[in-house]
Amino acid sequence: MDRSLIAIIAVLLILAPASRAALTPEQIKALPPAASGPVDFKSQIKPIFEASCIRCHGRGRNRGGFQIDSRQSLLKGGDTGPGAAPGHSADSYIIELVSGLNPDEVMPKKGKKLTPEEVGALRAWIDQGLPWDPDISFAPIPPQNLVPRAPKMPAAHNENNPVDRFVDVYFEQHHNEAPHLVDDRTYARRVYLDTIGLLPPPDELEAFVASHKSNKRAALVKSLLGRGDAYAQNWLTFWNDMLRNDYKGTGYIDGGREQITRWLYSALLTNMPYDQFVAQLIHPNKDSEGFSQGIVWRGFVNASQMPQMQAAQNVSQVFMGVNLKCASCHDSFINDWQLSDAYGLANVFSDQPLEIYRCDVPTGQKAATKFIFPQLGDLPATTNKQERLRALASVITGPKDGRLSRTIVNRLWARFLGRGLVEPVDDMQQIAWDPDLLDWLAQDLVAHHFDVKQTIERILTSRAYQLSAVDLGELQSTNYVFTGPDIRRMTAEQFRDALASLTGAGYAAPNANVSMSEDVQKQFGPKYQARWIWNVPGAAHNAKVGSIYLRKTIRLRTPPDQADALIYCDNGFELFVNGHKVSSGADFTRPFVVNLKPWLKTGENLIAVEATNSAPDPTAATTNGPSPNPAGLYIYARVRADSRGKERVVDFVSDRSWIVTDKKTAGWENPSFDARNWTPASELGLGGIAPWKLPDDMIARQFVRRAKGGVRASLVAADPLMAAMGRPNREQVVTTRASAATTLQALELTNGKTLATVLHEGAANLIRQKSSGPELVRSIYEEALGRTPTLEEFALAQEWIGNKPTRAGVEDFLWAVVMLPNFQLIY
Amino acid sequence: MNMMKHNWNRRDFLKTASAATLGALAAGAPRQGLAADQPAIQPTADTVIVLWMAGGMAHTETFDPKRYVPFSKGMPASDMLSTFPQIDTAVDNIKFSQGLEKIANVMDRGTLIRSYTAGDLGFILHTRHQYQWHTGYAPPQTVACPHIGAVIARTLGPKNPAMPAFIDIGQRFDVGEGEELKSFHTAGFLGSEFGPFLIADPADAAESVRPPEGMSPARFENREKFYKALVAQTPTDQFGSAYQRESLLRSMDNAHRLLSSPAAQSFDLTLEPKESYDKYNTGRFGLGCLLARRLTEAGARFIEVTSEYIPFEYFDTHENGHTRMADLKKSIDGPIAQLVLDLEERGLLNRTLIVVASEFSRDALLEGKPDKPVKDQVDEPAKVDDEKFYGMHRHFTDAGSVLLFGGGVKRGHLHGVTAEERPCKTLKDRVVIEDLHASIYRAVGISPRLSYDIERRPFYVTRDGVGQPILELFA
């Protein structure tokens, strides 16, 4: 034979499909025998495939070129030949592989190996000609909850709220009992917490209960949703959890993480339409880019956790209810997403096409950019990342996407009713227990231009929401039937804010850097101009080391309802009111906000301050001599009194009306002290002067508070109490918090310092405000539980507190009340 | 000698366990997954104590001494392998670095691993390596990973039901890299029922199981009585079954029970006889070891005592390595040895596994591994003119010492060999974190392939389930 013929034959032999050798008679004898009797595909073969085969050969996956999506594809086989020979199980490759004749080539490579009985069933099935139910397929399952849909509205039975029309149909189908609606008190407590995260103040609650207006519940919801800052401060928590946003945390030390707090708060304050909200997170501006940037660690990072992969995972989880985490390392075993899907989406966030890593090993292949739901729209093939991001944002928020809207309304439903229409809420491929209701709520959101507050209103005014709470506990997922909202538990922030309302012991200063609304600025901003003062002009540049003493007399016609002083002092101060030392501070970089109310009285009040300029930092000396040592005192006191329903402003500020001396004489801080020879203070300038440069909105931001209590918990970093009560470390996206009580939590509540301090301070506040035991008991019940105590409860509490309550007694009473299930749970 | 007697009844466990524990143990998520072909493992330990040398403990300065060259002005930096001479131990073929005489005397109660190598994470970040050491996974991760203590607490449950199963002693979280530390001091997705009970200062441990400051025991009891009475009076009947309510009340019961149980006394170091207390009192770490002993006697399951990680402090020696190591060895030598001896005396050492470890080792010149160096973080001059440059100041990940006592490990055994000259890297029997964890888990009867389901994904207690217990370590 000439050489070219040999070459051709050689090539043909090489190219010929590898065909397996037939089994030897010994090997055939070693096979498990075929089962006897007719085989039922659905009950016998389908489970084997699902347990052992489809992970690699089904749902669009085809390892070794072999797919068992259908009978046809199974017979066709893969790279090494046909899968089975109908009627001849002993000749079927699939049998050879699953029976483990060759231990190096047993199938499945991973997962549950087939038992001899299962092999036997498979053999019988093949011998019987592979009967395959036509309606069963292992092809990829089409995405659920994707296409927008406007279901037909059921007829009304006295229901104005469309939600209830759907729920009525559901109830009929499930033979649910006639629904029982909760009373006004229970309803009010729910909606206050669900909209603004606060307990209803007793006066507002009583007014609501007493009102005879026919639509009062709907009106209440609307009014609460209109409270811009309170709403924003409540929902900040929800979105901080979901967008991994926090004020402290991993990555802030070395710049591997960025906050989106200002942007987020502003978006909530203005009720930014949800489609814009999502678009600005996907295609971000400078203030919103922290979310898609993820958390960057120095050093080698597993390929599946590169920032672009984090973005793909988080965007798909939060907005689309899709879990790409598994598919970030390999084709997913728990759903149908593949490695190329995760990388395709990650590519959108990448400047260069990413190299695909499988299980952190490079494959040498570059990813092709694609969207996980290509049916929703195309992404342009462009090297311009901004264009790609804009396109992705547009596709996700576009009219074809019914997944975005369903995901958010489902999260809201879960939030208010304790369990989503779809569960788990991060797996929107699951079917809702009422698909029509889910679809309708989703299209309703879109129809109202993605107005989230509107959807919240829909849900909170529905009868479904107003039903008595049901306690499902751990049975939540098995055979769920909706019969009413789940009993829920207050979040850590709600618990802490409720404590603050109850006791006046809130947080002093926020960690979050947010801009308050104009309303808040108007309400809490300064009415007068405060000025930096000292005993000499020019102190803003340089002043002697040492202390000065200042006095100011103010006159009040009535005792104030609110009196808070904001104090900045370079470097330190001690504050006295009517001779009592009330506060001190030694940090010129931050303001101190002090409650003056307990110390002020009708008539003349003396405010006295010892202000100290410390020695300058010696290491800051320059070759030109010691560095300048500025000194200054800045006080804005917001004092308000209620005068026949109107608020009277009696604020006072630091200015030249204060008198000052630099000589300390005993008793200088007392009202009776004769300070005739003191001189007027020198005004150095307005708040914004150098070197301190206080921002314009600083006063409003510091004074923002509810009627009682300090800054809200959502604006401060986690403390041990909040962490114990379930506030998460936001290193990963958190869409639902665990609410089960744990022993560590209970330990923190039982003897933790944080709570003990709050109760201690709170008890002192309460004793000052309410003089008698009975008054105190009633007031705490009304504030904490929204009702008066029963006779038995009152008797018990009275016995405990007595007529002249002591601080310890009130502390322990408060503790017992806030540990009540009725306080912590939302019925 | 004062030996505490502790009686607790396992039958009472179910009564006292919180609803969260019960739910988890019975059927709830996260679900345990065990390979069907895993043979049952016979545990050799019931309690684990990790003594954590935070900051990178140099092996050549502690349990794996090399050629010693004392400081002399102008010496070449390459002469710095060990800055202390060697000493004998109770085991012939094992030498320690000077300053660890007391632990040397108890070396015959345990096994020394010299070949621990840390992961290759690129840039050396202490907390990142510490995260990997304590969870088996390098951050960032898609789920909140549980600390090894939480895994043990979740899988085995508490030993004495009145005691928190996972106790962590000695670390403050409001200093240094507190946020990064918080990220692995957690039970993660296993749920906070199994999280660490934190005690920053062992001297204050008693406070953490006492009524709040300023509250007398009598007032504490009265408060509890009043609370129970108030609960009983609160109308709740119209709301059907009471899972949430019961869960809350039961957890409060548990907390109260711990605070008023005899087990709470074990937290109180002032109850320790002075002679014994003084043996441990070298500082916070030493007292932490004493606390660990008392808690072990009271039936704790997993205790970690850390020398505390604060950047550039304690073992994180970026300068003055020699003088600081001298001090550090003083602070750990007596307490660790005493812990071993005390447990042995009380007949508890056999069933208590003690693990002394650090996130990586140190070298004077090398950063990372010789074949995988990483960015230098510390300046080291070629000639050492000042004593402050005399010591191990860089981070070395290609070797490390881990000391194991009790809990079924071989007595007087050496595992692993490292080079005598720079680089003092592992030459034989390398130990990586998943295998070290697998060995610890084996001691308490947990399979390295054990997994818990989170978001339908099995999360393995050793990285991806590949951990292999090192059987040569066990008797």
Burial of B308 (0-12, 13-18, 19+ CB in 10 A): buried
pLDDT of residue B39 exceeding 70, the answer is no
pLDDT band at B244 (very low <50, low <70, confident <90, very high): confident
Reported residue count of chain B is 475
Rounded-to-integer distance, Cα B315 and Cα A323, Å: 41
Of A300, A474, A726, the CB nearest to B121: A300
Nearest to A820 among B141, B179, B230 (CB): B230
Which chain A residues contact residue B217 at CB under 8 A? none
Q: What is the pLDDT of residue A56?
A: 86
Q: Which two tokens stand for residue A57?
A: 């050969």
Lookup result for tokens 């907005």: A319
> Residue B9's pLDDT is what?
41
Q: Examine the pLDDT at B31 and tell me if it is beyond 80.
A: no
Q: Which of B189, B230, B459 to mutate to test the interface with A (most CBs of A within 10 A)?
A: B230
Per CB-CB distance under 8 Å, the chain A contacts of B242 are 471
Query: How far apart are the C-alpha atoms of B418 and B363, rounded to whole Å?
Result: 13
- Stretch B219-234: mean pLDDT: 93
Higher pLDDT, A820 or A105: A820
Q: Which pLDDT belongs to residue A772?
A: 86
Q: Name the nearest CA neighbour of A268 among A524, A525, A514.
A: A514
Tell me which chain B residue has its CA closest to the CA of residue A475: B28
Is A115 touching B (CB cutoff 8 A)? no
Is B252 an 8 Å CB contact of chain A?
yes
Q: Which residues contact A82 (CB under 8 A, 6 or more apart)?
A: A75, A76, A93
For chain B, the first-to-last Cα distance in angstroms comes to: 30
Is residue A474 scored above 80 in pLDDT?
A: no
Query: pLDDT band at A59, cuts 50/70/90?
Result: confident
Residues of A within 8 A of B191 (CB-CB) are 738, 740, 742
pLDDT digits (tens, 9 = 90+) for A601-613: 999 999 999 999 9
Supply the pLDDT for residue A705: 52
Contact status of B232 with chain A (Cβ, < 8 Å): no
Is the pLDDT reported for residue B24 higher than 50?
no
For residue A81, the 8-state DSSP code is B
Average pLDDT on B347-365 reads 97
Q: Which of A395, A443, A557, A362 is nearest to A153 (CA)?
A: A443
The tokens describing B367, both together, are 């950063």
Prior bond of A424 cis (ω within 30°): yes
Over residues B428-438, the mean pLDDT reads: 98
Which tokens hold the place of B448? 């390295």
pLDDT for position B27: 33
pLDDT value of residue B51: 98
Residue B361 pairs in a beta bridge with B396
Q: What average pLDDT does this structure show over A509-528? A: 81
The answer to whether B213 contacts A753, with C-beta atoms less than 8 Å apart, is yes
Cα-based distances in Å from B368 to A77, A138, A221, A414, B131? 50, 49, 60, 48, 17
B52-92 pLDDT tens trace? 999 999 999 999 999 999 999 999 999 999 999 999 999 99
Residues constituting chain A: 827
pLDDT at B237: 54
In the block, residue with structure tokens 């108007």: A522
CA distance A571 to A587: 6
B22 interfaces chain A, CB cutoff of 8 Å = no
CB distance B236–A808 less than 8 Å? no
Q: Average pLDDT of A482-505?
A: 93
Q: What average pLDDT is seen over chain A?
A: 90
Question: Do residue A816 and residue B252 have CB atoms under 8 angstroms apart?
Answer: no
CA geometry: angle at B163 spanning B193 and B23, to 5°?
35
Query: pLDDT grade, residue B2 (50/70/90)?
Result: very low
pLDDT class for B13, splitting at 50, 70, 90? very low
Q: How far apart are alpha carbons A455 and B245 in whole angstroms?
A: 30
In degrees and rounded to multiples of 5, residue A636 shows phi and psi of -125, 120
Quick check: B176 contacting A, CB < 8 Å? Answer: no
Nearest to A595 by CA among A640, A637, A560, A564: A564
What angle is formed at CA B354 by the lines to CA B320 and CA B83, rounded to 5 degrees? Answer: 20
Please say if the pLDDT value at position A485 is more than 70. Answer: yes
> B255 vs A743: CB contact, 8 Å cut-off?
yes
Cβ separation B239–A469 shorter than 8 A: yes
Beta bridge partners of B68: B82
Amino acid at A666: A
d(CA B173, CA A466): 43
DSSP sequence for A9-61: HHHHHHHSPP-PPPPPHHHHHHSPPPPSS---IIIIIHHHHHHHTHHHHSTT-
- Candidates B128, B244, B257, partner chain A, best to mutate (most A CBs within 10 A): B244
Residue numbers in A near B19 (CB within 8 A)? 740-741
Question: Smallest Cβ distance to A740: which of B195, B230, B247?
Answer: B247
Cis-peptide into B423, omega within 30 deg: yes
Contact A699, A636 (CB under 8 A): yes
A436–chain B nearest CA distance, Å: 26
- Let me know: does B266 contact B297? Beta carbons within 8 Å: yes
Average pLDDT, integer, range A318-323: 98
Task: Evaluate the CA torsion angle B461, B465, B467, B469 in order and state its sign.
Answer: positive
Nearest chain A Cα distance for residue B125, angstroms: 8
* pLDDT at site A2: 64
Q: What are the pLDDT digits (tens) for A685-725? A: 999 999 999 988 788 877 765 434 678 999 999 999 999 99
User: A424: closest CA among A476, A471, A470?
Assistant: A476
Could you read off the pLDDT of B284-304 as tens digits, one per residue? 999 999 999 999 999 999 999
Instruction: Give how far A802 is from chain B: nearest CA, Å.
Output: 13
SS (H, E, C) chain B: CCCCCCCCCCHHHHHHCCHHHHHHHHCCCCCEECCCCCCCCCCCCCEEEEEECCCCCCHHHCCCCCCECCCCCCEEHHHCCECCCEEECCCCCCEEECCCHHHHHCHHHEEEECEECCCCCCCCCHHHHHHHHHHCCCCCCCCCCCCHHHHHHHHHCCCCCCCCCEEEECCCCCCCCHHHHHCCCCCHHHCHHHCCEEECCHHHHHHHCCCCCCCCHHHHHHHHHHHHHHHHHCCCHHHCCCHHHHHHHHHHHHHHHHHHCHHHHHHCHHHCCHHHHHHHCCCHHHHHHHHHHHHHHCCCCEEEEECCCCCCCCCCCCCCHHHHHHHHHHHHHHHHHHHHHHHHHCCCHHHEEEEEECCCEEECCCCEECCEECCCCCCCCCEECCHHHCCCCEEECCCECEEEEECCECCCEEECEECCCCCCCEEECCECHHHHHHHHHHHHCCCCCCEEEECCEEEECCHHHCCCCCHHHEC
Percent of chain B with pLDDT over 70: 91
How confident is the model at residue A804, as a pLDDT?
85
B401/B41 Cα distance (integer angstroms): 27
- Per-residue confidence (pLDDT) for residue A477, from 0 to 100: 60
Which tokens sit at A257? Answer: 């993480």
Looking up tokens 């405000």, which residue turns up? A769
Q: How far apart are CA A775 and CA A770, in angstroms?
A: 6
| Residues B226, A816: C-beta atoms closer than 8 Å | yes
- Cα distances from A546 to residues A166, A631, A679, A686, in angstroms, run 74, 10, 17, 23
Q: What is the mean pLDDT of chain B?
A: 90
A741 with B18: Cβ contact below 8 A = yes
B204 at A interface, C-beta within 8 A? no
**Partner B contacted by A819 (CB < 8 A):** yes
Q: How far apart are CA B219 and CA A194, in angstroms?
A: 36
Smallest Cα distance from B452 to chain A, Å = 14
C-alpha closest to that of A67 among A49, A85, A43? A49
Task: Name the phi and psi angles at B97, rounded to 5.
Answer: -85, 145
Closest CA to A452 of A580, A628, A277, A313: A277
Partner-chain residue, chosen from A301, A487, A744, that has the shortest CB–CB distance to B244: A487
A147-194 residue pLDDT tens: 999 999 998 877 789 999 999 999 999 987 777 899 999 999 999 999
Q: What is the pLDDT of residue A104?
A: 85
What's residue B246's pLDDT? Answer: 86
Whole-Å CA distances, A697 to A271, A565, A632, A633, A638: 21, 16, 20, 18, 15
- How far is it, in rounded angstroms, from Cα A300 to Cα B399? 20
Q: A297 and B249 in contact by Cβ < 8 A?
A: no
Q: Name the CA radius of gyration of chain B, rounded.
A: 23
ipTM: 0.90
Helix pair angle (A753-769, A773-785), 10° resolution: 120
The pLDDT, as a whole number, for residue B97 is 98
Chain segment B111-154, per-residue pLDDT in tens: 999 999 999 998 899 999 999 999 999 999 999 999 999 999 99
| Residue B326: predicted pLDDT | 97
How far from A706 is each of A203, A227, A300, B90, CA to CA, in Å?
14, 12, 47, 68
pLDDT reported for residue B33: 58
Amino acid identity of A683? E
Res. A7 pLDDT band, cuts 50 70 90:
low
Q: What is the DSSP string of A279-347?
A: HHHHS--TTTHHHHH--PPSS---GGGSHHHHHHHHHHHHHH----SGGGTSS-SSSS--HHHHHHHHH
Query: If you measure CA to CA, which chain B residue comes closest to A473?
Result: B243
Specify the pLDDT at position A507. Answer: 86
d(CA B34, CA B47): 22
For chain A positions 705-734, those within 8 Å of chain B (CB to CB) are 724, 726, 728-729, 731-732
Instruction: Name the pLDDT band for B378 (thresholds 50, 70, 90).
Output: confident
Chain A hits for B457, Cβ within 8 Å: 325-326, 333-334
Residue A519, pLDDT score:
74
The reply to whether residue B231 touches residue A820, judged by beta carbons under 8 angstroms, is yes
Q: Is B122 an interface residue toward A (CB < 8 Å)?
A: yes
Main-chain phi, psi angles of A798, to 5 degrees: -60, -45
pLDDT digits (tens, 9 = 90+) for A387-437: 999 999 999 999 999 999 999 999 999 999 999 999 999 999 999 999 999
- Measure the N-to-C terminal CA separation of chain A; round to a whole number of Å: 92
Closest-CA distance of chain A to residue B4, Å:
24
Instruction: Write the DSSP string, A367-405.
Output: PPP--S-GGG------S-HHHHHHHHHHHHTSTT-HHHH
Q: B-contacting residues of A 419-448, CB under 8 Å?
A: 424, 426
Q: Residues 34 to 73 of B: which have CB under 8 A from any A CB?
A: none
Looking at chain B, the whole-number percentage of residues with pLDDT higher than 90 is 79
The band of A620, judged by pLDDT with boundaries at 50, 70 and 90, is: low
- Residue A1 above 60 pLDDT? no
Residue of B nearest to A799 (CA): B226
User: CB of B121 within 8 Å of any CB in chain A?
Assistant: yes
Which of A741, A796, A812 is the closest to B223 by Cβ? A812
Least confident of A94-103, A141-150, A344-353, B210-219: A94-103
Q: What is the pLDDT of residue A10?
A: 58
